[in-house]
Amino acid sequence: MENTKRRVTRKKTAEARFWEKVEKTDGCWNWTGTKSRGYGGFLFDGRQIGAHRFSLLLAGREIPRGLEVDHLCRNRGCVNPDHLDIVTRLENNRRRPYSSNIRDRPHCLHGHWYTDNSQYRAKTKHGGTSRQCLICALKARIVSIQKRLDLLMEEQRGFEGRQPGGDAAADRP
C-alpha cells in the first residue's frame, strides 16, 4: 500500500515535469526537452524512457512488452497520444515505406486506410483542399451527438416519476 502511494506521488511530480517540456499545437505536441535520434527522452523512475512512451502512460495506455510505438504523424518528437499507435515490430516496419510524405500516406493519422469511400476533400484555410478521413469525421460526429444526447437524457431525469402525458390523459373524458 505504502509503496503504491509513493509511486503515485512520484508519477505526479514526473507528470508536472513532463508537461513543462511539451509544446502543444492543434496537431502535434512537440517535445522541447532532450532528444535522441529525433525522439524525446524523459527521465522517469531513474530511467531514461521515450517521452512519447511516457505520454501514453499518462493517457492510460500500457505498452505491452515487445510492442513498439509508431508515430502516425511521422514526427518523432511528437508526444500527442492521438498520434501514437502501439504496434508490433512487423507492423511498424510495414508502415515505414509510407513514412516520408504525409500526402502519400495511404491511411489517416489513426491508421484508417483511404479508399474512395473513406476519404473526402475539405477546404483548407489557404483556399486549397486537403484529404480527410471520413471514418474519423463520422466518429467525431458520433462523439458530439452522444454528448448532446447525454445532456438531454440528464435533463429528462429531472422529470423522473412523472408519467409521460399523464396530466393530459387525466383531463380526457
Is 139 near Zn ion (CB under 5 A)? no
d(CA 38, CA 33): 11
- The nearest distance, CB 70 to Zn ion, in angstroms, is 11
User: Which of residues 40, 73, 85, 95 is near Zn ion by CB under 5 A?
Assistant: 73
Residue given cell 409521460 in the structure block:
164
Of residues 32-61, those binding Zn ion (CB under 5 A)? none
50 within 8 A of 40, measured Cβ to Cβ: yes
Is 79 near Zn ion (CB under 5 A)? no
Three-class SS state of 19: helix
- The nearest distance, CB 83 to Zn ion, in angstroms, is 3
30 within 8 A of 63, measured Cβ to Cβ: no
Is 74 near Zn ion (CB under 5 A)? no
All three cell numbers of 25, joined, read 499545437
- The nearest distance, CB 79 to Zn ion, in angstroms, is 8
Task: Considering the complex, state which of residue 28 and residue 69 has its C-beta at the smaller distance from Zn ion.
Answer: 28
Residue 85 CB-half CA count within 13 A: 18
> What residue ranges bind Zn ion (CB under 5 A)?
28, 73, 75, 78, 80, 83, 108, 110, 112, 133, 135-136
